[in-house]
């Protein structure tokens, strides 16, 4: 009976060790010194494909930075760079699909992850081209594209410039910035800041651990953060503004002729509004009223800071 119990414990121990090895990121191989794969950058893949405006670029990459831009050609160029022997650890390919162009980088082993391969994907597409970009551990930069854009990274920053159409950008551990956009925007990060400049259209932006700084015109605006400040400069016709933070200040500036129903509230700070309003109800922590006869609601609420609504 005792021998049977010992065999059972041994089998259980083997099972636990196997589970930990296959399921945990502790089996990562770090090649930071470059000695195993070569320290210099090499061109690992160079392909071009005929393209038609309106098609889609699809990128699914493990541990790579991604850069996408446009040119005046009906062609998609794909270049992938990395350390010389990166191909021993990952599979790299790009191909034409029925929807457009597909680019993938996958680990060869399902139980071993390799860091510091220096992988970079650079793609150039026609200007009117949609994109679906996913990378598990790198930064994403995209500019001069018009289309439906879906961008995601687990551990990097997202930088975007001169885009139009519909945009969804999400990262678990980095900052998101957008400069010059016309369309609808959704931006989410769990651990960084959100910044928008020269936006036009609806904005939905949120972060769990950073600040939000937005300059946009027209469209609905929905901004939320659990641990930072919100700064909004809004121009154009009001279509609804909602700003909420649990741990910071809210500062909103709008045109003097903005029509709005305003509700400002702070649990732990002051509330200020320097626009002329009617039907005002206010105390130290709350303000409500109608600006220029009323209009879509402007709501700003914070639990741990002050709220300021002012005219440009």
Give the E-state strand segments of 72-175 in sequence order.
Answer: 75-83, 90-96, 100-107, 113-115, 120-126, 130-135, 140-153, 158-171
| Phi-psi domain of 207 (left: phi exceeds 0; alpha: psi -120 through 50; beta: other) | beta
Domain assignment present for residue 122? The answer is yes
- Please state the rounded mean pLDDT for residues 26-45: 58
Residue 22 clears pLDDT 80, i.e. is over it: no
Handedness of CA 292, 293, 299, 304 (dihedral sign): positive
Whole-model pTM: value is 0.86
Domain assignment present for residue 121? The answer is yes
| pLDDT for position 188 | 97
Query: Mean pLDDT across the chain, nearest whole number?
Result: 88
Please report which confidence band the pLDDT of residue 19 belongs to, taking 50, 70 and 90 as the band edges: very low
Contact of 113 with 29, CB cutoff 8 Å: yes
* β-sheet bridge partners, residue 284: none
Domain assignment present for residue 108? The answer is yes
Q: Which residues contact 36 (CB under 8 A, 6 or more apart)?
A: 85
Radius of gyration of the chain (CA): 25
| pLDDT for position 312 | 86
Domain assignment present for residue 57? The answer is yes
Handedness of CA 133, 139, 145, 149 (dihedral sign): positive
Residue 238 clears pLDDT 80, i.e. is over it: yes
- What distance in Å separates the CA atoms of residue 99 and residue 156, rounded to the nearest whole number? 27
| pLDDT for position 115 | 64
Q: Which domain holds residue 79?
A: 21-174
- Please state the rounded mean pLDDT for residues 246-263: 96
Least confident range from 69-73, 179-183, 304-308: namely: 304-308
Domain assignment present for residue 245? The answer is no
Domain assignment present for residue 297? The answer is no
Q: What is the pLDDT of residues 269-288, one digit of tens each?
A: 999 999 999 999 988 899 99
- What distance in Å separates the CA atoms of residue 28 and residue 147, rounded to the nearest whole number? 37
Domain assignment present for residue 30? The answer is yes
| pLDDT for position 217 | 94
Residue 24 clears pLDDT 70, i.e. is over it: no
- Please state the rounded mean pLDDT for residues 244-254: 95
Q: How many domains does the chain have?
A: 1
Domain assignment present for residue 98? The answer is yes
Q: What is the pLDDT of residues 207-228, one digit of tens each?
A: 998 999 999 998 999 999 998 9
Please report which confidence band the pLDDT of residue 110 belongs to, taking 50, 70 and 90 as the band edges: low
């Amino acid at each position: 009976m005792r021998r049977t119990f010992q065999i059972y414990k041994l089998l259980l121990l083997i099972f636990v060790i196997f589970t930990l090895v296959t399921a945990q990121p502790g089996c990562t191989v770090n090649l930071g010194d470059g000695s195993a794969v070569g320290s210099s950058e090499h061109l690992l893949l160079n392909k071009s494909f005929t393209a038609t405006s309106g098609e889609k670029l699809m990128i699914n990459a493990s541990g790579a930075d991604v850069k996408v831009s446009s040119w005046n050609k009906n062609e998609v160029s794909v270049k992938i760079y990395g350390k010389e022997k990166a191909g021993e650890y990952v599979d790299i390919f790009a191909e034409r699909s029925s929807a457009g162009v597909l680019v993938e980088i996958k680990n060869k082993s399902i139980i071993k992850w390799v860091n510091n391969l220096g992988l970079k994907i650079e793609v150039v597409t026609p200007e009117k081209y949609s994109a679906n970009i996913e990378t598990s551990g790198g930064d994403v930069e995209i500019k001069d594209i018009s289309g439906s854009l879906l961008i995601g990274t687990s551990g990097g920053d997202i930088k975007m410039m001169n885009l139009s159409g519909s945009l969804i950008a999400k990262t678990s551990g980095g900052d998101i910035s957008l400069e010059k956009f016309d369309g609808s925007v959704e931006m989410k990060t769990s651990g960084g800041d959100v910044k928008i400049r020269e936006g036009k259209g609806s904005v939905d932006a949120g972060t769990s651990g950073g600040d939000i700084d937005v300059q946009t015109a027209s469209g609905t605006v929905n901004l939320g953060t659990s641990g930072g400040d919100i700064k909004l400069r809004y121009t154009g016709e009001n279509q609804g503004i909602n700003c909420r933070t649990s741990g910071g200040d809210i500062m909103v500036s709008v045109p003097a002729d903005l029509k709005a129903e305003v509700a400002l509230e702070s649990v732990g700070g002051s509330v200020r509004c320097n626009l002329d309003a009617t039907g005002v109800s206010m105390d130290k922590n709350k303000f409500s009223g109608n600006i220029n006869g009323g209009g879509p609601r402007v709501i700003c609420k914070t639990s741990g800071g002050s709220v300021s609504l002012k005219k440009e």
